[in-house]
Structure 1
Amino acid sequence: MNSPCNIAAALPGMAARQPEAIAIRCPTGVGPDGQVRYGIELSWRALEERSSAIAAALARAGIVRGTRAALMVRPSPELFLLMFAMFKAGVVPVLIDPGINRRALKQCLDEAAPTAFIGIPLAHAARVVLGWARRSCRINLTVGRRWFWGGHTLDGLMAQSAGEDFTLADTAPDEIAAILFTSGSTGVPKGVVYRHRHFVAQVEMLGQMLGIEPGGVDLPTFPPFALFDPALGITSVIPAMDPTRPAQADPRKLIDAIRRFGVTQMFGSPALLDTLSRYGEAHDVRLATLRRVMSAGAPVPPAVVARMAAMLPEDANIWTPYGATECLPVALIEGRELRATRAATEAGAGTCVGRPVAPNDVRIIRIVDEPIAQWRDELLAAPGDVGEIVVAGPTATDEYFNRPEATAQAKIRETLADGSSRILHRMGDLGWIDEGGRLWFCGRKSQRVEAADGPLYTEQVEPVFNTHAAVRRSALVGVGEKGAQMPVLCVELEPGTAEAARERIEAELLNLGQRHPHTARVQRLLFHPRFPVDIRHNAKIGREALARWASARMR
């Protein structure tokens, strides 16, 4: 009999092979000596048995296969136990970034219409006061102490269901596994429908493309990545940090965890790696056990890759998977190749994100803003031209939940030779493919500048100016009506740059731009104290907000 299509299906085997080995370590606070205490450890046996017990407890409350359940629990043993319990039972978790604004969060929950709400006391208090999912939610489960609201507590349900048997649900590949909301960094957050086959394919593709083998130790600074670890047979060490503010993570705590537990791989956003590598460079830090570093969420600046590489063993790898919530992974590049493409990036080619991950089919289509219902070959851009990136593959999701217009905007149906069909996902990103088959990222389609003399793309302009030693980062925005926009470069300087130096830096930047025909079109610079960035990775620049700011400054 075939096992269910479910990433939790790997847990019984891991528990049988190495029952007492540690699957997850979690921090419990900081001791008097300032050192983080990792006082909670879950063995593979405990992860398997306790997640099954929680699945049985959820069923007692009516949270069963097919139930949509909002989950708002901080990174902790309870979060991971609940996630695997929900996968095992076929419950559909609804996951939303906790850092988004209250209005957007309420809108996400109203759209997802969860029947159940599982959360810590603070989340439940906010649910009651702010009216989250008021029309749909009828089952409330508190992880911790219940206050003035009704419903169940996890501890109470666990006591009632003690000893009850649980059988892993025979989930099918096309069955909905979860609804994951995008960060909303370039628009309104949307609920991406993940089917069980999407998660299983992600695990398989990540394992194969990165050569991940059981027995390693991972430091996942973005909590959802910890969900892949048990399926890959590796231990998770949950870092002591606020996952909604990765740029503010304390590098000393990350370094301590890596050294104390012999961490072999880690995931970090570009902003987190920037913080960590700056500290490492300043303090000559070496991380002898770390063999694999992954970063995603935004292009990783070459300088960050170079600083990070200096902290690692010579044979270690820094991988940058390219993708999105709707489709991950799409392509992959290693740090050495990324550094080799640095000169081209800093001359305006865009950022190389590597070659498509098998078996993905990556194409470039001409730039259009309208929906495309059916694939036709004349959509393709000319070889070497910049266009929109579209992807077909096993992790390409096929719809947004309760968002038919957004689904129509982002999905193209293709009829294959055998009469079957598949979905191509429009990434909303611009790029081109070189003669070697490598994909180059040129920026978000919605953030392109449509000037009277032609378009400009953020990732072909900003890296040129980012070579200036005083520039921390820059952002190209358009001011005015589409088709007649003025290209404006917003600049965030390195901390400590003297105010008096700005006039000189502006002149130097404009002179720098004259080296290339496309950047020479940027004739206006504005200095900004601190760029707005996305909630999830603190790395994607909020160019829409900067465009509004620049427009106001230039009135």
Structure 2
Amino acid sequence: MFPSTSENVAWLIKEQAAVQPRAAAIYFPETRDRFGRVAYTHLTFQQLQERSDFFAWGMRNLGVCAGQKALLMIRPSLDFYTLLFAIFKIGAIPVLIDPGMGWGNFLRCVQSIEPEVFLGIPAAHVLRLLTRRYFRSVKINITQGNIRFWGGRTLTELHGKSEPYPIHAASPDDLAAVLFTSGSTGPAKGVSYTHRIFNTQVNLIRREYGIKPGEMDLACFPLFSLFSIALGAAAVIPDMDPSKPALVNPERILEPLRNLPVTYSFGSPALWDHVSRYACEKQLRLPGLRRIIMAGAPVPAQVHERLLHQLLEPGAETYTPYGATESLPIANFSGSEMLAETKEASLAGKGTCVGKPIAEVQSKIIAITDEPIASMQDARELDDGQIGELCVSGTCVTTEYYNNPKATRLAKIADGDKIWHRVGDVGYFDAKGRFWFCGRKTHRVEMQSDAGTQTLFSIPCEAIFNQIPGVRRSALVGIGKRPSQIPAIIIETEKNHRLTTEKILEVAAANPLTAAIRHAFFHPAFPVDVRHNAKINREELARWATEKC
């Protein structure tokens, strides 16, 4: 049913509407009754198809056309998904930026992308009015809501048509969307997604996780739910703030599991750590869930153990897909395999195993450098077991950052007609071809010793401290500049636990991996990324530690 003349991802929804028109595509918690019980509203695949057609006609009548960039500032809702697919149908380019990165960073991203179309909630339009110079490129404004003293149209004022919209014929390598990185490990960058990459990802996710029509996704990370809908599964939007998964009310996650036949969920490790602790304390179970997929940061072994051994039904599985906004997925690893084969090595400071790269991804480990690499011939490839920088290439790997040639030069390596992406992670391959993640390249600590320059990597070192009773998490930071940094370990304790600096340094001295660490600090609550609330902001902690010295 997918036409051979176009690879526009909007055809995926049209196909599902033809195959299962009355099946639910999206559930949204619209309101609550006087007893606090949630009331869902939903769209079937046919309704999603028809409503996105209507919006597409309406936006085209306003002047929205193929090739224009459309910035969305709309919370997860029925309208969010409908508008997104309407934009694809027109051939316009949706732009998604996480506002949780801070308004200064957000506005710089807007200015760099120069959107012609702006779709937002009223508060987003107020921001646009207050910071006009960042939105000078915007010509068409659409508001989700009834207030619009700033001009433009509301969604209810769009003059659409109740007839099929002729989906824009897209070539495989046409720009489909611009998705910004979270900015948690460096400046946020707009990643150029083509229709080929989107369609490849849909097929890979179908294969890796066995997602099929009739399933139901508890969508704790909104972007992943787009793949669920494209694969014919229903997306259930939980009653939560998607920008603060670590602070979610666990009952708001357990509630859809009781109300609806949810079969899988994608969410942050921080969310499932929080929810699994709560469920274990309350002696609850997670009925019906067959798969929990966690990504965004390394997943602690105890989270897999709680889910697999205490909360999920027999035969269920946890997964930790490994990748980045620029390249997803790179590898996939199950929680049961991790607990059986790699847990002990991780605890001993060998890094976190994320599995073997999938067949569609080629990978290399090269010597670490912070400089651009023009050609793969200029890189030095390392042997198995040697820690270096991971590079990947393949049909699910993006080739550029939008309107950002400097970032593209730093992250991409030419190799004939192939482009390699420098993931920014360091680690090594073992004898089985599995990648062991040892941290971000920017988080390595370089110090001088009698033997010359010594490099410490965050994940192996932190594993030693994370096993101390009372430690919730730890962060290795470098004080000063490479290659003459002073390594320090920062500790966040569990609630109501007290530890001493002497205890931390005693553990450090007893292990060859951490013996060079002679400074320890306690921090009340680590700063984390805005998207998954799981990546520790070591840059901010390093600045904090520098002030303490």
**Which position in structure 2 is the counterpart of 1:452?**
448
CA distance in 2, matches of 1:451, 1:101: 32
Please give the alpha-carbon distance, in whole angstroms, between the structure 2 residues aligned to 1:525 and 1:485: 15
Task: Supply the distance in 1 between the matched residues of 2:135 and 2:14 (Cα, whole angstroms).
Answer: 37
Corresponding position of 2:50: 49
Q: In the alignment, is the contact (CA less than 8 A) between 1:374 and 1:412 conserved in 2?
A: yes
1:486 aligned partner: 486
Partner in structure 2 of residue 202 of structure 1: 201
What pairs with 1:87-166 in structure 2 (closer than 5 Å)? 87-131=88-132, 133-157=134-158, 160-163=159-162, 165-166=164-165
What amino acid is the match of 1:330?
I
In the alignment, the residues of structure 2 paired with residue 268 and residue 161 of structure 1 have an alpha-carbon distance, to the nearest angstrom, of: 35
- Inter-partner Cα distance in structure 2 for 1:24 and 1:174: 29
CA–CA separation in structure 2 for the residues paired with 1:452 and 1:438: 31
The size of the alignment, in residue pairs, is: 541
Distance 1:278 1:35 in 2: 24
Displacement, 1:162?
2.8
Amino acid at match of 1:336: S
| Distance apart, 1:77 and its partner CA | 0.4
Q: Which runs of 5+ in 1 are unaligned?
A: 416-420
Match of 1:275 in 2: 274
Q: TM-score, normalised by structure 2?
A: 0.96
Q: Which residue among 499, 502, 511 is the counterpart of 1:502?
A: 499
Alpha carbons 1:36, 1:240 under 8 Å: kept: no
> Contact between 1:449 and 1:478, CA under 8 Å: does it hold in 2?
yes
Residue 424 (structure 1) aligned with residue 420 (structure 2): yes
C-alpha distance in 2 between matches for 1:325 and 1:132: 28
Q: Which residue of 2 aligns with 1:78?
A: 79
| Amino acid across the alignment from 1:514 | A
Aligned twin of 2:536? 541
**Which amino acid counterpart does residue 114 of structure 1 have in structure 2?**
P
Q: Distance in 1 between matches of 2:117 and 2:38?
A: 34
Whether the 8 Å contact between 1:269 and 1:295 is mirrored in structure 2 is yes
1:492 Cα deviation after fit: 0.2
The 8 Å contact of residues 11 and 231 in structure 1, kept in 2 or not, is answered as yes
Q: How far has the Cα of 1:34 moved from its partner?
A: 2.5
TM-score normalized by the length of structure 1: 0.95
Report the Cα offset of residue 519 of structure 1: 1.2
- For residues 540 and 163 of structure 1, what CA distance do their matches in structure 2 show? 45
Q: Distance in 2 between matches of 1:378 and 1:63?
A: 44
Q: What is the rounded CA distance, in whole Å, between the counterparts of 1:540 and 1:547 in structure 2? A: 15
Contact 2:447 2:484 in 1 (8 A): yes
The answer as to whether partners of 2:492 and 2:526 remain within 8 angstroms in 1 is: yes
Decide whether the 8 Å contact of 1:118 with 1:140 is kept in 2: yes
SS in 1 for 2:252: helix
- Residue number in structure 2 paired with 1:418: none
Partner of 1:374: 375
Task: Give the match for residue 242 of structure 2.
Answer: 243
Helix, strand or coil for the counterpart of 2:531?
A: coil
CA-CA distance at 1:318 after TM superposition: 0.3
CA 1:132 to 1:305, structure 2 compared with 1: closer, same or farther past 3 Å?
A: farther
Is 1:321 the counterpart of 2:321? The answer is: yes
Counterpart Cα distance in 2 of 1:336 and 1:48: 39
1:332 has 2:337 as partner: no
- For the 8 Å contact 1:106–1:132, the answer to whether it is kept is no
Q: Give the counterpart of 2:8 among 6, 25, 40.
A: 6
Displacement after TM superposition at 1:388 (Å): 0.4
C-alpha displacement at 1:68, in angstroms? Answer: 0.4
User: How far off is 1:391 after superposition?
Assistant: 0.4
Can you list the C-alpha shifts for 1:391-432, whole angstroms capped at 9, x where unaligned?
0011111111111010000001111xxxxx111100010010
* Displacement over 3 Å in runs of 4+: none
Q: Which structure 2 residues correspond to residues 248-397 of structure 1 after superposition, within 5 A?
A: 248-309=247-308, 310-340=310-340, 341-376=342-377, 379-397=380-398
The Cα of 1:259 is off from its aligned counterpart by 2.1
* Identical pairs, percent: 45
CA distance in structure 2 between the aligned counterparts of 1:521 and 1:378, rounded to whole angstroms: 30
Partner residue, 1:463: 463
Q: How big is the shift at 1:8?
A: 2.1
Counterpart of 2:176 in 1: which secondary structure? Answer: strand
CA contact (8 A) 1:180 1:193 kept: yes
Alignment partners' CA distance in 1, 2:256 and 2:357: 33
Determine the C-alpha separation between the residues in 2 that align with 1:3 and 1:76: 31
Say whether the 8 Å CA contact 2:257–2:287 is kept in structure 1.
no
Specify the SS of the correspondent of 1:491: strand
Q: Distance in 1 between matches of 2:318 and 2:13?
A: 28
Does structure 2 retain, via aligned residues, the 8 Å contact 1:28–1:37?
A: yes
The whole-number CA distance in structure 2 between the counterparts of 1:252 and 1:394 is 39
Deviation for aligned residue 1:362: 1.3
Question: Secondary structure of the equivalent of 1:376?
Answer: helix
Deviations 1:123-165 (A, max 9, x none): 11111112264321111111211332111222111xx223455
Mapped partners of 1:116, 1:378: distance in 2: 41
Q: CA-to-partner distance for each residue in 1:19-53, whole Å, 9 max, x for gaps?
A: 11111100113332223321x11011101111111
**Unaligned stretches of 5+ residues in structure 2:** none
SS at match of 2:35: coil
Whether the 8 Å contact between 1:36 and 1:253 is mirrored in structure 2 is: no
The letter of the residue matching 2:257 is I
Give the conservation status (yes or no) of the 8 Å contact 2:180–2:189.
yes
CA distance in 2: counterparts of 1:507 and 1:186, whole angstroms: 31
Aligned-partner Cα distance in 2 for 1:511–1:41 = 57
CA deviation string 1:479-508 (max 9, x = no partner)? 1221121110000000122xxx322xx333
> Does the Cα contact within 8 Å between 1:226 and 1:236 map onto a contact in 2?
yes
With over 3 angstroms needed to count, the CA separation of the structure-2 counterparts of 1:13 and 1:337, relative to structure 1, is same
Partner of 2:433: 437
1:548 Cα shift?
0.2
CA distance in 2, matches of 1:53, 1:149: 24
SS of the residue aligned with 1:521? Answer: coil
Alignment RMSD (CA, Å): 1.3
Q: Say whether 1:212 aligns with 2:211.
A: yes
